[in-house]
Amino acid sequence: MKIGSYKIGNGNPTFVIAEAGVNHNNKLDNAFKMIDFAIKYGANAIKFQTWNTELLQLKNAKKPFYQKNIKNKTYYEIIKNLEPSQNDQKKIYERCKKTGIIFLSTPYDEQSVDFLDDLGVPAFKISSSDLANHILLKHVATKNKPVILSTGLSSIKEVTETVNLFKKLKMLNKLILMQVTSNYPTPPEDVNLRVISNYMKKFKVPIGFSDHTKNSIASLGAIALGATIIEKHFTLSRKLSGPDQSSSLEPNELKNWIDDIRYLETCMGSQKKSITLSDQKNISMKKILVIKPIKKGKIIRKEHLASMRGAKNGLLPLNSNLQKIIGKKIKIDISKNIQFSWKMI
């Protein structure tokens, strides 16, 4: 599977999404600055959100807990004020295209799906709130593009039913599941990274992780467990107003987060166990040493031998080697503190 020119899945570099969301506060200049930071610090994609408030939100809906600190506005008013115009989104898309970073956006209604598809997004990122919205997901599937599906707010039963829908629609080969806890910030006891291993075993599709924690540790753990896509919110400043600002990374933290991910990828290395160049430059393994004189024709006993460091070559004190040495006759006279070799027996 590919998103743009990037291959997704095991054996490929982690696909890193810098989640702008609504943190640009519906200001084009802020969005452009965020794009520039995402490119500068090595993100593969930057993601926004696309919706029509009238199709998304009841006017009397209560605010989520993490938005209680926003005073004097209803939840509907907050969402309406942040709703991006299609004209601005086109400009954001063009800026991303011109500067070489993938533009992604989360659609919350069918009109937004159609708009983003016409715009040219290479994939759709679906919110946890729409995991069980099979009406929307069926419409997304008609676009025949990769779907990055967040699974917060859902039980394994609901996730399984949704995966089965993609299978029925012959879209399983384009599905990526994201482990996520929909709380901002997420406390560590609710992150549940082991779900990643469960998803990999159960669903056999690429797995990612939406990180809503306060640092990079959970992202690194997710990658070590096999996550192939990682996303995290960022902002120009946590001092800005808005529902997601306080739980987002600032630009310097975004840089550190991505640097940590790339460093971990290097550390992950190969599954093949071998002696590395770093190993060879440092302390050598212990080798077999004759520590007591032995006359020609005598039997080698355990007390004649020891294992010591310092020899470049020689025999390792493996049981397979010791069984071939102890009890054998020595061919030549040997003084003490001599490195043992097969020529002696």
Higher pLDDT, 282 or 139: 139
Question: Do residue 125 and residue 224 come from a single domain?
Answer: yes
How many helices (H) and strands (E) in the chain? Answer: 12, 13
17-59: pLDDT as tens digits: 999 999 999 999 999 999 999 999 999 999 999 999 988 888 8
Question: Do residue 159 and residue 101 come from a single domain?
Answer: yes
The answer to whether residue 68 scores a pLDDT higher than 80 is no
Residue with tokens 């709703």: 83
Structural domain span for residue 283: 277-344
Q: Decide the pairing of beta strands 6-7 and 305-308.
A: unpaired
Residue 280 has a pLDDT of 76
Q: How far apart are CA 224 and CA 222, in angstroms?
A: 5
Rounded to an integer, the average pLDDT of 329-342 is: 94
Question: Do residue 332 and residue 236 come from a single domain?
Answer: no
Look at the chain and report how many structural domains it folds into.
Answer: 2
Question: Do residue 129 and residue 210 come from a single domain?
Answer: yes
Dump the DSSP string for 106-162: EE-SHHHHHHHHHHT-SSEEE-GGGTT-HHHHHHHHTT---EEEE-TT--HHHHHHH
112-169: pLDDT as tens digits: 999 999 999 999 999 999 999 999 999 999 999 999 999 999 999 999 999 999 999 9
Question: Do residue 115 and residue 24 come from a single domain?
Answer: yes
Q: How far apart are CA 129 and CA 146, in angstroms?
A: 18
CATH number of the domain that 338 lies in? Answer: 3.90.1210.10
238, 268, 298: which is the final residue of a domain? 268
Question: Do residue 284 and residue 215 come from a single domain?
Answer: no
Chain centroid to CA 323: 48
268, 287, 317: which is the final residue of a domain? 268
Question: Do residue 312 and residue 185 come from a single domain?
Answer: no
Could you tell me what percent of the chain has a pLDDT over 70? 97
Question: Do residue 234 and residue 331 come from a single domain?
Answer: no
**Is-cis flag, bond preceding 146, omega within 30?**
no
79-99: pLDDT as tens digits: 898 999 999 999 999 999 999
CATH number of the domain that 185 lies in? Answer: 3.20.20.70
> Of all helices (H) and strands (E), which one includes residue 209?
strand 207-211
Residue 62 has a pLDDT of 75
Q: How far apart are CA 46 and CA 39, in angstroms?
A: 9
Q: How far apart are CA 296 and CA 46, in angstroms?
A: 76
Residue 2 has a pLDDT of 97
> Of all helices (H) and strands (E), which one includes residue 261?
helix 251-268
Residue 61 has a pLDDT of 73
Higher pLDDT, 150 or 310: 150
Lowest mean pLDDT among 48-62, 107-121, 285-299: 48-62
Supply the angle between the helices 251-268 and 217-225 in degrees, to the nearest 10.
30
252-263: pLDDT as tens digits: 999 999 999 999
268, 295, 322: which is the final residue of a domain? 268
Determine contact, residues 38/21, Cβ cutoff 8 Å. no
Residue 72 has a pLDDT of 60
